[in-house]
């Protein structure tokens, strides 16, 4: 074999070696990228076994996330039995501070029962238990396991007896989930919670209060006032149920300006009504028509709060009754005052009612502009 052939073979060998090395490097880089991408989305699991005498909690996290909490431990070491045993207590203490479970409003105290690792999935699981002195009607779970990881998600599963599990996903924007026990106890707890929520919503919503007051300004007998209140109640109950069950749910940027327009319209009609009553009493019809709009507004509150699947009907009924209780309180407070003012100051009362109507018009116009301009500003900023 000549020298030229030897050199040629050496060159070919070197090329083949370089090519092989390049392939190995590409394969290693590919594997590293695959491993990294497998944990690009940080997530964990929390499963709750809800019993009558005990609450079991199992938290599963990725070893890399667990190592970041511990600070001084290599992630690979945590899947080894000896390392896991030595660090389990400290890890359990950190996690138990970041996931709080409230039973009927009181924080439950959990103790670590066991810890395990799965090298194949690179996951660590810690099991906790809390004894109960009595069965619970309501559980609230507050979870922020890794608040420094903005996109971290905790997949939550709650199992109660043989019933189908209930699930939720807890994030930084949605760190809390609530569940009610199945059966009469849970339904009663849900009823009380949503009854208070309905009452609270009426008294913290000045637009709804002003709409009701506007309907009452012109007074009338008991039958007329009850007719107006019933029409409003019937209408918003219909659309509240429609939106809650997902049959029709207009966006808030449509509903909220319409609620403001209803207030504006009520004020205008109060001002335009003639003293001789030739225009008639339009309030029952108006209360029903605009009550449909206000019902969609109430539904938006329920969407934010959320309705428990296990007590959906009771919760919806309770919220609606709470709204009615708030409205009834307003009617019972305002109606006698208006009636007494008409009797005591028959000449001044009409002018005072007109002034109040103009104030209602101003408030309705302000809210309408505010609720139209703000969404438009946000939309223009996005584009």
126 shares its domain with 206? no
253 shares its domain with 301? yes
Tell me: pLDDT of 307 over 80.
no
116 shares its domain with 259? no
57 shares its domain with 34? no
Q: Check residue 25 and give its pLDDT.
A: 41
Q: Check residue 8 and give its pLDDT.
A: 42
119 shares its domain with 51? yes
Integer Cα distance of 341 and 219 in angstroms: 11
105 shares its domain with 162? yes
Question: What ranges in 39-80 are assigned the alpha helix state H?
Answer: 63-70
Contacts within 8 Å (CB) and 24+ apart, 148-154: 149/42, 149/65, 151/41, 151/42, 152/42, 152/43, 152/44, 152/65, 153/41, 153/42, 153/43, 153/44, 154/43, 154/44, 154/45, 154/46, 154/99
Q: Give the angle subtended at the CA of 263 by the CAs of 261 and 265, to the nearest 5°.
A: 70
Per-residue model confidence as pLDDT tens digits over 230-251: 888 899 999 988 988 888 889 8
Domain boundaries, position 10 = 1-38
User: Which residues, at least 6 apart from 29, have a Cβ–Cβ distance to it below 8 Å?
Assistant: none
Q: Check residue 127 and give its pLDDT.
A: 95
354 shares its domain with 287? yes
Closest by CA position to 215, among listed 299, 331, 321: 331
Percent of the chain that is helix, strand, coil (3-state, to 5): 60, 15, 20
Minimum mean pLDDT among 24-28, 250-254, 373-377: which range?
24-28
Averaged over 138-152, what is the pLDDT?
Answer: 89
Minimum mean pLDDT among 5-19, 51-65, 85-99, 211-225: which range?
5-19
366 shares its domain with 279? yes
172 shares its domain with 260? no
24 vs 333 pLDDT, higher one: 333
Helix (H) or strand (E) holding 271: helix 252-272
Per-residue model confidence as pLDDT tens digits over 353-366: 889 999 999 999 99
Q: How confident is the model at residue 331 (pLDDT cuts 50, 70, 90)?
A: confident
111 shares its domain with 233? no
Tell me: pLDDT of 201 over 90.
no
Q: Hey, is 297 helix, strand or coil?
A: helix
Structural domains of the chain, count: 3
Integer Cα distance of 325 and 305 in angstroms: 19
Specify which residues 114 forms β-bridges with: 127
176 shares its domain with 224? no
Residue 325's CB is within 10 A of a number of other CB atoms, namely 14
Domain boundary at 165, 182, 199, which? 182
Integer Cα distance of 208 and 300 in angstroms: 14
Tell me: pLDDT of 22 over 70.
no
Domain boundary at 182, 200, 223, which? 182
Instruction: Name the average pLDDT for the chain.
Output: 82
335 shares its domain with 370? yes
Pairing status of strand 54-62 against strand 123-131: antiparallel
Tell me: pLDDT of 3 over 50.
no
């Amino acid at each position: 074999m000549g020298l030229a052939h030897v050199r040629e073979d050496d060159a070919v060998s070197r090329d083949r070696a370089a090519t092989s090395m390049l392939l190995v490097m590409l394969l290693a880089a590919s594997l590293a990228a695959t491993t990294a991408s497998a944990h690009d989305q940080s997530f964990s699991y929390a499963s709750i076994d809800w019993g009558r005498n005990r609450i079991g909690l199992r938290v599963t996290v990725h070893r890399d996330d667990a190592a970041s909490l511990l600070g001084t431990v290599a992630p690979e070491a945590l899947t080894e039995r000896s390392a896991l045993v030595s660090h389990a207590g400290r890890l359990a203490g950190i996690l138990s501070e970041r996931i709080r479970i409230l039973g009927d409003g009181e924080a439950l105290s959990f103790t670590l029962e066991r810890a395990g690792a799965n090298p194949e999935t690179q996951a660590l699981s810690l099991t906790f238990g809390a004894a109960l002195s009595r069965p619970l009607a309501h559980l609230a779970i507050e979870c922020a396991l890794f608040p420094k990881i903005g996109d971290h998600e905790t997949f939550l599963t709650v199992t109660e007896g043989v019933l189908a599990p209930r699930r939720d996903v807890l994030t930084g924007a949605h760190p809390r989930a609530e569940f009610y026990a199945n059966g009469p106890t849970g339904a009663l707890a849900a009823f009380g919670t949503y009854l208070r929520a309905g009452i609270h919503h009426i008294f913290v919503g000045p637009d709804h209060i002003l709409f009701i007051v506007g309907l009452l300004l012109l007074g009338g007998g008991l039958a007329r006032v009850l007719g107006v209140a019933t029409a409003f109640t019937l209408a918003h109950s219909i659309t509240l149920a429609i939106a809650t069950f997902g049959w029709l749910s207009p966006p808030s940027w449509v509903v909220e300006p319409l609620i403001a327009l209803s207030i504006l319209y009520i004020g205008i009609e109060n001002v335009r009504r003639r003293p001789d009553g030739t225009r008639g009493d339009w309030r029952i019809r108006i209360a029903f028509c605009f009550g449909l709009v206000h019902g969609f507004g109430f539904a938006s509150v329920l969407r934010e709060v959320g309705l428990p699947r296990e007590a959906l009907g009771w919760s919806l009924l309770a919220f609606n009754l709470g709204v009615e209780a708030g409205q009834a309180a307003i009617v019972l407070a305002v109606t006698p005052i208006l009636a007494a003012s008409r009797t005591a100051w028959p000449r001044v009362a009409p002018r005072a009612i007109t002034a109040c109507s103009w104030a209602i018009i101003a408030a309705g116009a302000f809210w309408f502009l505010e609720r139209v301009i703000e969404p438009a500003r946000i939309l223009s900023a996005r584009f």
